[in-house]
Structure 1
Amino acid sequence: MTPPTASPGDGDLSRQPTQADLRRWRRYLANERAEAAVYRDIASRRDGEERDILLELAEAEGRHEAHWRALLGEHGHGRAKADLSTRLIGALARRFGSVFVLALMQQTEARSPYATEGDATPTMAADERIHEEVVRGLAMRSRSRMSGSFRAAVFGANDGLVSNLALVLGISATGVSNWIVLATGISGLLAGALSMGAGEYVSVRSQRELLHASNPNPETPSLIPRLDVDANELALVYRARGMSEADAIQRAERMIRMQGASPESGPVQLSAADEHEELGTAWSAALTSFCYFAVGAIIPVLPVIFGMSGLPAIAVSATVVGVALLVTGAVVGVLSGASPWKRALRQLLIGYGAAAVTYVLGLLFGVAAG
Structure 2
Amino acid sequence: MHHPTPAQIRRWRRYLAAERAEREIYRDLAERREGREREILLGLADAELRHEQHWLELLGEHQLPAPRPDLRTRLLGFLAKRLGFLFVLALAQRAEGRSPYDDDSDATERMAADERIHGEVLRGLAARGRTQLSGSFRAAVFGANDGLVSNLALVLGIGATGASPQVVLFTGFAGLLAGALSMGAGEYVSVKSQRELLAASRPDPESQSALPHLDVDANELALVYRARGMGQTDAEEHARQVLATLHLDSDAPPEELDPDEAVGSPWKAAISSFLFFASGAFIPVVPYLFGMTGLGAVALAASLVGIALLGTGAVVGILSGTSPLLRALRQLAIGFGAATATYLLGLLFGATVG
Please state which band the TM-score falls in when normalised by the shorter chain.
over 0.9
Computed over aligned residues only, the root mean square deviation of the Cα atoms, in angstroms, reads 1.6
Q: Distance in 1 between matches of 2:241 and 2:166?
A: 73
Q: Distance in 2 between matches of 1:60 and 1:345?
A: 36
Q: Does 1:279 align with 2:266?
A: no
For residue 299 of structure 1, the aligned residue among 277, 283, 290 is 283
On the 8 A contact 2:165/2:293 being kept in 1, the answer is yes
- With over 3 angstroms needed to count, the CA separation of the structure-2 counterparts of 1:271 and 1:213, relative to structure 1, is farther
Q: Distance in 2 between matches of 1:353 and 1:79?
A: 49
Q: What's the CA shift for 1:270?
A: 9.7
Q: What's the CA shift for 1:273?
A: 2.4
Q: What's the CA shift for 1:272?
A: 4.7
| Amino acid in the other structure paired with 2:298 | I
Q: Distance in 1 between matches of 2:305 and 2:69?
A: 34
Tell me what 2:8 maps to. 21
Tell me what 2:349 maps to. 365
For residue 320 of structure 1, the aligned residue among 304, 308, 311 is 304
Structure 1: gaps of 5 or more residues: 1-13, 260-264
| Residues 152-210 of structure 1: per-residue CA shift (max 9 Å, x gap) | 11111111111011011101101111111111111111111111110000000011111
Matched position secondary structure for 1:44: helix
Q: Distance in 2 between matches of 1:243 and 1:269?
A: 10
For residue 103 of structure 2, the aligned residue among 116, 119, 131 is 116
Counting only pairs closer than 5 Å after superposition, residues 332-343 of structure 1 correspond to structure 2 as 332-343=316-327
On the 8 A contact 2:225/2:250 being kept in 1, the answer is no
Tell me what 1:351 maps to. 335
| Amino acid in the other structure paired with 2:335 | G
Counting only pairs closer than 5 Å after superposition, residues 154-303 of structure 1 correspond to structure 2 as 154-259=141-246, 268=249, 272-276=253-257, 278-303=262-287
Tell me what 2:20 maps to. 33
Matched position secondary structure for 1:95: coil
Q: What's the CA shift for 1:218?
A: 2.3
Name segments (4+ residues, structure 1) moved above 3 Å: 267-272
Q: Distance in 1 between matches of 2:96 and 2:330?
A: 25
On the 8 A contact 1:216/1:270 being kept in 2, the answer is no
On the 8 A contact 2:143/2:280 being kept in 1, the answer is yes
| Amino acid in the other structure paired with 2:321 | G
| Amino acid in the other structure paired with 1:316 | L
On the 8 A contact 1:109/1:131 being kept in 2, the answer is yes
Q: Which stretch shows the higher mean deviation, 337-346 or 288-297?
A: 337-346
Q: What's the CA shift for 1:95?
A: 1.6
| Residues 281-305 of structure 1: per-residue CA shift (max 9 Å, x gap) | 1000101111111111111111111
Q: What's the CA shift for 1:256?
A: 1.0
Q: Distance in 1 between matches of 2:346 and 2:71?
A: 46
- With over 3 angstroms needed to count, the CA separation of the structure-2 counterparts of 1:84 and 1:178, relative to structure 1, is same
Matched position secondary structure for 2:205: coil
Matched position secondary structure for 1:176: coil
Q: Distance in 2 between matches of 1:331 and 1:213?
A: 33
On the 8 A contact 1:168/1:185 being kept in 2, the answer is yes
Tell me what 1:148 maps to. 135
On the 8 A contact 1:193/1:291 being kept in 2, the answer is yes
| Amino acid in the other structure paired with 2:302 | A
Q: Distance in 1 between matches of 2:84 and 2:49?
A: 20
Q: Distance in 2 between matches of 1:249 and 1:86?
A: 54
Counting only pairs closer than 5 Å after superposition, residues 97-116 of structure 1 correspond to structure 2 as 97-116=84-103
Q: What's the CA shift for 1:269?
A: 5.8
Instruction: Give the structure with the larger helix fraction.
Output: 2
- With over 3 angstroms needed to count, the CA separation of the structure-2 counterparts of 1:270 and 1:79, relative to structure 1, is closer
Q: Distance in 1 between matches of 2:232 and 2:209?
A: 23
- With over 3 angstroms needed to count, the CA separation of the structure-2 counterparts of 1:64 and 1:97, relative to structure 1, is farther
| Residues 226-259 of structure 1: per-residue CA shift (max 9 Å, x gap) | 1111111111111122221122112211221112
Q: Distance in 1 between matches of 2:108 and 2:206?
A: 58
| TM-score, scaled to structure 2 | 0.95
| Amino acid in the other structure paired with 1:349 | A
Tell me what 1:79 maps to. 66
Q: Distance in 2 between matches of 1:152 and 1:331?
A: 14
